[in-house]
Amino acid sequence: MAIPWDIVGLTPTEGPAMTPPKRPARREFGQLDQLPSGRWRARFTGPDGRRITAPLTFATRREGADYLARTRAELLAGNVAPVVPTMTTLEAYAAEYLRTAATTLRPRTLDLYRRLTARYLLPAVGTGADRVELGPLPLSALSLPLIRQWHTAALEQARTHAEQAARRREVRRRSRAHPARAWALAEGLEVAATGRLSPAVLEAWQAAGSPGHPGEQVDDSAGRTVTAQAYRLLRTMLAQAEADGLIPSNPCKVKGAATVQHAERLPLTPEQVSALAEAVPARFRAAVLVAAWSGLRPGELFALRRADVDAAARTVTVRRAMVDMPGAPVSYGPPKTRAGARTVSLPASVAATLAEHLEAHTGEGAEALVFTTRAGGPVRSGERSRVLRAARERIERPDMTWHHLRHTGATLAAIAGATQAELQARIGHSSTRAAAIYQHARSERDRWIADQLDALAAPTPAGPEPTPPAPLPTAPAPALTPAEREPEPLEPSPAPAVPSPRPARSRAHLSLVRSA
């Protein structure tokens, strides 16, 4: 069959030996296809063999070719994350992260991370159009706007949970306590924690207008702490994903999301510490004093054994800390930091109270817990809170917790003159920055400093010179005989007057005058 040379663009004179031109060779990397809309689609095969389509289409073939060239350069350089989106979901990566972190994290920290992940990172948060669910999304789909939207929804949900918890606590408190008892405790009246109220207390309560339970106020910052914790955990996970090469960069860059402005945790005065120790049950009086004058953490304080107390040397030695997790039995582990293993000296009065406590409330044996419940068991966090609940109302410090006593111990040590290094060693911190958190300026100390500055700024004017005292009268000397008298020295002749020297300038002037 004859070849229609005019169709292929050849002339018959070129001869039948000539072959038609070949089709353009296929691209070495990627493929470009023109869509019915006229735009161009770019596709390529990733290192894992998956067919990947560019996230955008291109107006011209040249733009698509440039995209494929840049993609190939990134892959040749080993930068897979910027061009190959990962399909690993946040849920799958979070499970792997917690599994590997379990070998390095403390039990309580790991428990906190798991609860934050299950409550805020993986499930949907928010309602309606603001509902965000990060768990099923691939890591490559997490962007800064999406993280910002999730943080806003999580913050609103956390505040709602805080308000609901406050209402539940209020209902429980109203159901188990008569409002007259709460009023009497707030007024400083002596009433038992349970049992029938005396007629005098009821009459006084009625005379005051029968006030009800004071409602629990929810702070404006409610929910911010747990949201900041969840955000910091998400940021840490995605930082690890970036280091693993799964995402090109960490999208957790929401300004201010990781920090919370807390109200200052004010320490107690020595008078308030003594009043609090008198207000708690007798078996916890020594615990309050030791906590306030040593700076021990609550977990360290309630893990002390009889062998850790040296009453003669007035010291307590921290060798372990209590691990108290919900739904699990109490266990003991190493202190929070390496610097937490330490020996702390106690004031003599506190050491004496602790020695009395050992005799009255601590069991026999070196391993016996120093502070226990009435049944002899370890004092868990819930029981510790109940111990302070009524006592802090009596000293008018409803905000106080056991950690306030630790702050108090650090503050009192600083006021007593402890240096930064001494304070750091006493409270068991490995960094000076962490130790500085527990230093608080007392108003009395600040007033003393101001008085000293005032003495420098406006010194007291000096008073008038004192009048020198008059000389005391002396008795007249006895008369001497002529033989006893010493010969009077001859009066020397007057020395010739020596002219006083004049300044050199004057002599020069006189010499000039004489020469003139």
**What string of H, E and C letters represents the secondary structure of 206-247?**
HHCCCCCCCCCCCCCCCCHHHHHHHHHHHHHHHHHHHHCCCC
Helix (H, G, I), strand (E, B) or coil at 43: strand
Asked whether residue 511 carries a pLDDT value surpassing 70, the answer given is: no
pTM tops 0.85, yes or no: no
What per-residue confidence (pLDDT) applies to 432? 73
pLDDT in tens, 419-457: 888 888 888 887 776 666 655 555 556 666 677 676 777
Q: Which of 21-35, 78-92, 238-252, 410-424 has the highest mean pLDDT?
A: 238-252
Q: What is the DSSP string of 145-176?
A: HHHHHHHHHHHHHHHHHHHHHHHHHHHHHHHH
- Distance (Å, whole) CA 238 – CA 509: 93
Start-to-end CA span in the chain (Å): 144
Q: What are phi and psi of 194, to 5 degrees?
A: -140, 170
Name beta bridge partners: 45.
Answer: 51
Written as six digits, the tokens of 442 are 């007392």
Least confidently predicted of 101-110, 194-203, 281-290, 339-348? 194-203
Q: Is the CA virtual torsion 485, 487, 493, 499 positive or negative?
A: negative
pLDDT in tens, 194-206: 677 777 777 777 7
Helix (H, G, I), strand (E, B) or coil at 59: coil
Q: How confident is the model at residue 462 (pLDDT cuts 50, 70, 90)?
A: low
Helix (H, G, I), strand (E, B) or coil at 319: coil
Asked whether 175 and 280 are in contact (CB, 8 A), the reply is: no
- Distance (Å, whole) CA 179 – CA 157: 32
What per-residue confidence (pLDDT) applies to 274? 93
Cα angle 462, 463, 467; round to 5: 135
Asked whether 232 and 164 are in contact (CB, 8 A), the reply is: no
Q: How confident is the model at residue 184 (pLDDT cuts 50, 70, 90)?
A: confident
Q: Which amino acid is at 336?
A: K
Q: How many contiguous H segments (helices) and E segments (strands) does the chain have?
A: 18, 8
Asked whether residue 253 carries a pLDDT value surpassing 70, the answer given is: yes
Q: What is the DSSP letter of 424?
A: H
Q: Which amino acid is at 477?
A: A
Q: Is 28 exposed, middle or buried (0-12, 13-18, 19+ CB in 10 A)?
A: exposed
Q: How confident is the model at residue 174 (pLDDT cuts 50, 70, 90)?
A: low
Cα angle 472, 477, 479; round to 5: 160
- Distance (Å, whole) CA 434 – CA 427: 10
Asked whether 132 and 124 are in contact (CB, 8 A), the reply is: yes
What per-residue confidence (pLDDT) applies to 231? 95
